[in-house]
Structure 1
């Protein structure tokens, strides 16, 4: 099976032509380039240059509203991925993947745009933006590519609510509150002289044979319970 190694950077009649191939056994690092187009596929062109500004690979154009997988063989080092067209890629996306990890990603919204990435190399200036990548989170960052673990999620943020969630990052309107008593407010005081709670003993208040309140003193010398009882 032949793998694409180097493409010509010569623009011929508006098209980039493929020129050089190499066998898979000669491939140092197999890189997957995914080019996704919108309605500007016929204007979508790209090139890859190394840190000496030498042309390594190039391609385009593509069909509109399509996704193309391109396998490249790259040596270890730093590279620039260059995106260009007359009006920009118009929402098109280029993703560079190596060993199941994204090395670089770009949208090419300008007539010329570029980003840097490294293959088994560091300090190439192509660090991917970090942030919260979960769209369900309060602090979702649409520009983030790498999730930095900062996501926080909606919940009840009112400490006075029955279902207060201390970990919630924003309110989702789910807070529930205890309704005020419209009957008779009764205060029940539970005491324990030893100060270690009731040790499993409980109280129960019934009306017409039905339990309307029950509980226990879990620990300590005393506790207070507010009850709402009818006449």
Structure 2
């Protein structure tokens, strides 16, 4: 599966202006989903934002996930929810949203938490933070080899998160992440969100090309070794 972008909203937004930013971002290329992550706002503000942003997402075949709150995800009929270790449990979120909605789980840098979430049925696990970030206070620092380990042993997709930019994302892709979760690297990009999405997708495509070439070379070397 080709890796994809997983966008995260800023914790505070001016809805009309952000809707325009989102339209611009989604016009820039392939995006898997948008996580609506508003902090310290009334529930009504989250619901209102979802009502505006979800149609924009769906016009581009992009899923909308609600951060932390499976109850609000159900209320607005979102595509799913992302839960942290201090939020609603995976079990509670799944029971509330049913079998067809996306439920992803924060696992920090913990292999144990990730294995547990995968065994319970999580649709993805999220590892991080891989780089310093100002978007949220980080509780763990993850190493790139965590992604490689997960890619080698598990089928459940993984998300890399934390301070990811166009300039530093290639090692995460090379290690096997399925999604790049990006906030500031999109919305604060000097050339705007559309250019950011375009540039991220160029890096993704290049890494996929390089990976395919590496696999081809390894197979050729193996065939040569068998002949000698």
Which bin holds the TM-score, normalised by the shorter protein? under 0.3
TM-score for both structures, normalised by structure 1: 0.25
More strand by share: 1
TM-score for both structures, normalised by structure 2: 0.25
Bigger Rg, structure 1 or 2:
1
